[in-house]
Structure 1
Amino acid sequence: MTAPDIVDRFAEAWTKMDPDAFTPLFREDVRLIHPLDRNTRGVVEAREFMARTMSLIPDLRYEVQGWASGSGHVLIWGRLHGTLGGGPIEWPLVDRLRLEDGLIAERTAYFDPLVIIAVLVRRPRAWLPYLRTRLVRR
């Protein structure tokens, strides 16, 4: 896949809110790196991470605002937004995708985790759903 294809398919996968929508984009040994979660290795762990994220914020949406590519990488910047603990949440982020053989070999998400932590602290209704996503981790 080319960079524009990856961007389109990555954004489309987010609109489906289905962890399985991402797996065709990932290499079998994909690595996901995030500020608020442990790093994942492989499609199974990546799918589990996406499922946990989507269960915490079921209406989560990714609004792509732009992208660039070069040297085997694609940068996508935009914002994630949804509802957590009965109120809105949103944060800007940049995803750096390292491609191999036209698939995502590594995704590094760059964002300020304090945005999410602050919402969690202020909204007790979000505590139990958040703890559930932590407990299903391997």
Structure 2
Amino acid sequence: MSVVTDWPALHEHVIERFAAGWSDPHPHAWDDLLAEDVELTQPLLRHGRGRALWHEEALRLLAFLPDLRGEVLSWAARKDIVFIDLRLSGTAGGARLSVRACDQLTITTSGRIARRDSRFDPRPVMGTLMRHPSTWWPWWRSGIGPLTARRALLTSRPGAVADRRSQELR
């Protein structure tokens, strides 16, 4: 006996939870949505697998843009694939940043995100960084960039950044 998945209801649930996470983002805002071994591909952030990776990258992102918020502009879905048109906005060092992203989510029949592929043009972010020196320190301190050199200095052991940033946000 096969179980029929109510994809439209599942899509609505995923969009609702995804939007709620971006309306008040913190590293654990999407825990009820992300599969434990979620695969993540995202511009300017580390690619990889696992909720713990997302927690660490979300901490970095929020350290750079503490007032970051996301707004779901539109979405489309078919079976296990959901596309979300998203506007992300925040302030770094007094400079306002806004980018539009397209996330492609692969979801399970239980409504968990098994894979997230986020795409956006990073040139506006880099342009803001170049035009506003006040953004340099928040960008550097967050660990978002420059990725290789900066992260080597920040992490002496796996999870060190996440542990430190969790304490800073309390």
TM range (shorter): over 0.9
Runs in 1 of length 4+ with deviation above 3 angstroms?
Answer: 135-138
Q: Could you state the TM-score of these two structures normalised by the residue count of structure 1? A: 0.92
Q: Say if 2:46 and 2:57, in contact at 8 Å, map to a contact too.
A: no
Give, in angstroms, the shift of residue 24 of structure 1: 1.5
Report the AA paired with residue 86 of structure 2. G
2:104–2:116 CA contact under 8 A, matched in 1: yes
Contact kept in structure 1, 2:93 and 2:135, CA below 8 Å: yes
Q: How much has 1:125 moved relative to structure 2? A: 1.3
Paired with 1:121 and 1:38, the residues of 2 have a C-alpha distance of 22
Report the equivalent of 2:164: none
Residue 25 (1) aligns with residue 37 (2): no
> In structure 2, what is the Cα distance between the partners aligned to 1:17 and 1:110?
19
Matched letter for residue 86 of structure 1 = G
Contact 2:95 2:135 in 1 (8 A): no
For residues 59 and 141 of structure 2, the distance between their equivalents in structure 1, rounded to whole angstroms, comes to 12
Question: Corresponding residue for 1:122?
Answer: 131
Matched residue type, 1:93: A
In the alignment, which residue of structure 2 is the partner of 1:109? Answer: 118
1:40 Cα deviation (Å)?
A: 2.5
What TM-score, normalized to structure 2?
0.76
| Residue identity in the other structure for 1:3 | H
Alpha-carbon shift at residue 38 of structure 1 (Å) = 2.1
Partner-residue secondary structure (3-state), 1:67: strand
Shift of 1:110: 0.9
State how far apart, in whole Å, the 2-side matches of 1:60 and 1:122 are: 20
In structure 2, list runs of 5 or more residues that go unmatched. Answer: 1-8, 144-150, 159-170
Partner amino acid, structure 2, of 1:122: R
- Measured after TM superposition, the shift of residue 93 of structure 1 is 0.9
Q: Higher strand fraction: Structure 1 or Structure 2?
A: 1
Contact preservation (8 Å) 1:31, 1:46: no
Deviations 1:14-47 (A, max 9, x none): 1122111111111110111112122031010111
* CA RMSD between the two structures: 1.5
Which has the higher Rg, Structure 1 or Structure 2? 2
Is it true that 1:93 corresponds to 2:67 in the alignment? no
CA distance, structure 1, for counterparts of residue 69 and residue 84 of structure 2? 14
Letter in structure 2 aligned against 1:111: F
- 1:3 to partner: Cα distance: 0.7
| Residue segments in structure 1 that go unaligned for 5+ positions in a row | none
Give the letter for the 1:104 counterpart: I
Amino acid aligned to 2:31: T
SS in 1 for 2:32: helix
Percentage of pairs with the same residue: 36
Question: Residue type matched to 2:83 in 1?
Answer: L
